[in-house]
Amino acid sequence: MKTEEQLLNIIKNVIVNDTENAKIVTLNALELKNVEKLAAKHDLTHFIGVAADNHTLNIPKEQNTLIRNMMFTTAARMEQLNFEFLQICKTLQNFKIVYMPLKGAIIKQYYPQSWMRTSCDIDILVHENEAYKAAEILCKKNGYTVKSKNYHDYSLIKKSGIGTHLELHFNLKETYDNLDSILDKVWQYSFPKKDGGFEYCMKPEFFMFHQYAHAYYHFVSGGCGIRMVLDLFLLNKKFNFNSEEVEELLKKANILKFARQLKKLGEVWFCNEAADELTNLMQDYIFTGGVYGTEFNLVAMQQQKRGGKFKYAVSKFWLPFKTAKNNYPILNKCPAMYPLIQIKRWGNLIFCGGIKRSVRNLSVNRHISEEKSQNIKKMMEELDLL
């Protein structure tokens, strides 16, 4: 675990920002290469540059310039993304469209410097009845193109400049009923940032619930990344909210134990709280998953949810109703369409490249070791994910 510990100490030195009492990290060329590789997997390479810059990290002199340049490149990219975000907000305000910034746009203010909270896209929520209009306006006025539409957003792309990806949400659905029943009430938990203004904010308690719900979605989909744990750690330390109200929402969604353990993991990493078997299992799972999770982790998680290797293999051909309902929300209103959904899936397998993906999933399923399976099972049982 040496590489992981080195990266976590580097991050801790940056976010605590106490250079006098920091535990200095020293890396040789090979160690630096390994830490860089892990940091890149979690979109945290710039922390290495910041730590080297504030002298809490010692690295070979010949690497200093390269590391610092990587930091400056990240800072410049995030400043450009922030400029694009402000332009989008300005357009929505000019056309009197109510909107709400999400995720990183809010969380970044709790980092030592806002640019340190990196992101690959911009997330904004609008009312569903104004989503199409908002997308059209942003295409016309800001140079975006609609790439696709899915169950919760329009995906917009702007190829000029830094090449920006905008997720224009019209709901916060995560395809899990326990989460969506609460996330659907987002506008009931929101208020205008200024009287008469068009920018809205979530009530702090609901914002915290959304972060945990989003982390849950990614966690069960293959991994939530170090950055998501760091986000929650900083929010718990700096964001003003009523913890009892947050826990009540988490309890209603049946993810209270998961949220508590994710919070504890942040304290283990960045506050020297003692680790235990469960935090070690979560840590291993998150480290291997990267920012968006891995297919290996996802299959290992689904394998346990569906009752083992054999039942997982069967599910690739006949999707369980509960899973199908998450993937195809229309089944919530019309369960009788379940057989038709199976036929649609088979069509996708045959004509849309699904067979290749399923064969790959089955290969992963077959090669997951018994030790890995048992560790995932134990973690899921402890987190009430089974």
Q: Which residue has the tokens 């140079």?
A: 143
Identify the weakest region by mean pLDDT among 28-32, 102-106, 169-173, 367-371. 367-371
Q: Is the pLDDT of residue 324 over 90?
A: no
The pTM of this model reads 0.88
Average pLDDT score over residue span 65-86: 95
Q: Is the pLDDT of residue 124 over 90?
A: yes
Q: Is the pLDDT of residue 57 over 90?
A: yes
Average pLDDT score over residue span 369-376: 87
d(CA 222, CA 41): 14
What pLDDT, on a 0 to 100 scale, did the predictor assign at position 298? 81
Position 160 confidence tier, pLDDT thresholds 50, 70, 90: confident
Average pLDDT score over residue span 52-61: 93
**Residue range 9-27, pLDDT digits in tens:** 999 999 987 767 788 999 9
The average confidence (pLDDT) of the chain is 90
**What burial class does residue 343 get, using C-beta atoms within 10 Å of its C-beta: 0-12 exposed, 13-18 middle, 19+ buried?**
exposed
d(CA 361, CA 325): 20
Q: Which two tokens stand for residue 271?
A: 């506050």
- Angle, in degrees to the nearest 10, between helices 225-238 and 277-289: 120
> How many other C-beta atoms lie within 10 A of the C-beta of residue 26?
10
Sort strands 57-58 and 25-26 into parallel, antiparallel or unpaired: parallel
**94-123 exposure pattern, b = at least 16 Cβ within 10 A, e = fewer:** eeebbbbbbbbbbbbebbeebbbbbbeebb
- Angle, in degrees to the nearest 10, between helices 2-16 and 256-271: 80
Average pLDDT score over residue span 197-212: 97
304 and 373 Cβ atoms separated by less than 8 Å: yes
Position 352 confidence tier, pLDDT thresholds 50, 70, 90: low
Average pLDDT score over residue span 124-131: 98
